[in-house]
Amino acid sequence: MVITMEIKNVIFDMGNVLIYFTPELYIKQQGVSEEEEKLLLREVFRRMEWVQLDHGTITEEEAVESICRRVPSHLRGVVEELVFRWWARPLSPVPGMKELAAELKGLGLRLYLLSNASTQQCKYHDRIPGTEYFDGRIVSAECRLIKPQREIYQLLLDTYGLCAKECLFIDDSPLNVEGACCAGIKGIIFDDDLPRLRRELREAGVMVHM
């Protein structure tokens, strides 16, 4: 028996779990000054609009208009590029995660994506290494729920007919893992340490290789 204990489903976050999310790099690729890089990092990625995009409560067009009220007019094109197309360049996979997904699938587990992301996610989902092994996905903006709201975890369970105690959730955010735990789902915090993740999976009863 390759699946021990009760874990039958593994749920992955996306950013900094399957692919790296690096706003500083996306901004640097725009060829702006160092001062403008700092401004764009703050006003595009660290203000309410980015959360609202993930929550599905504003559109990309509305986000651009709001952000552009706080930045010089000559940066409008850069803001549009970052909001609409940050994902259009090559994505940076987290090393070893595609292989882990393949191994988990080979053990007979079902795999799911649960991500805080905007409605743009569907445009690059198939480019995320490892998702070819996934059985389903829930994206926050598409359902207007957002981690760590308990309802988004329950939505995933209900959508795919999963039992919470048979699920294990991997996310880089302690807050999001706590949200999963509140919904009855076991959780592992991933801090870019693949050997540790594999150890914790084994401790949870998933017999991956070390």
Question: Residues 103-147: pLDDT tens digits?
Answer: 999 999 999 999 999 999 999 999 999 999 999 999 999 999 999
Question: Residues 42-95: pLDDT tens digits?
Answer: 999 999 999 999 999 999 999 999 999 999 999 999 999 999 999 998 999 999
Look at residues 18, 25, 19, 86 and name the one whose alpha carbon lies nearest to residue 50: 86
Sheet-wide strand order for 167-171: 136-139, 110-115, 9-12, 167-171, 186-189
Instruction: Give CA–CA dist 46/132, Å, rounded.
Output: 31
Question: Is residue 190 scored above 90 in pLDDT?
Answer: yes
pTM for this structure?
0.94
Rounded (10°) angle between helices 150-160 and 174-182: 60
Look at residues 208, 209, 206 and name the one whose alpha carbon lies nearest to residue 9: 206
**Which positions ≥6 away from 61 have C-beta within 8 Å?**
none
Where does the pLDDT of residue 2 fall: very low under 50, low under 70, confident under 90, or very high at 90 and above? very low
Where does the pLDDT of residue 167 fall: very low under 50, low under 70, confident under 90, or very high at 90 and above? very high
> Which range is least confidently modeled, 1-10, 121-130, 152-161, 173-182?
1-10
Give 134's DSSP letter.
Answer: -
Question: Is residue 1 scored above 70 in pLDDT?
Answer: no
Question: Is residue 194 scored above 80 in pLDDT?
Answer: yes
Average pLDDT of the chain, as a whole number:
96
Return the sign of the alpha-carbon dihedral for residues 102, 104, 107, 113. negative
Q: What average pLDDT does range 169-178 have in this prediction?
A: 98
CB 101, CB 111: distance < 8 Å: yes
Q: What is the pLDDT of residue 210?
A: 85
Q: What is the pLDDT of residue 52?
A: 98
Give 166's DSSP letter.
Answer: G
Question: Is residue 3 scored above 70 in pLDDT?
Answer: no
**Which positions ≥6 away from 167 have C-beta within 8 Å?**
7, 8, 9, 10, 11, 157, 185, 186
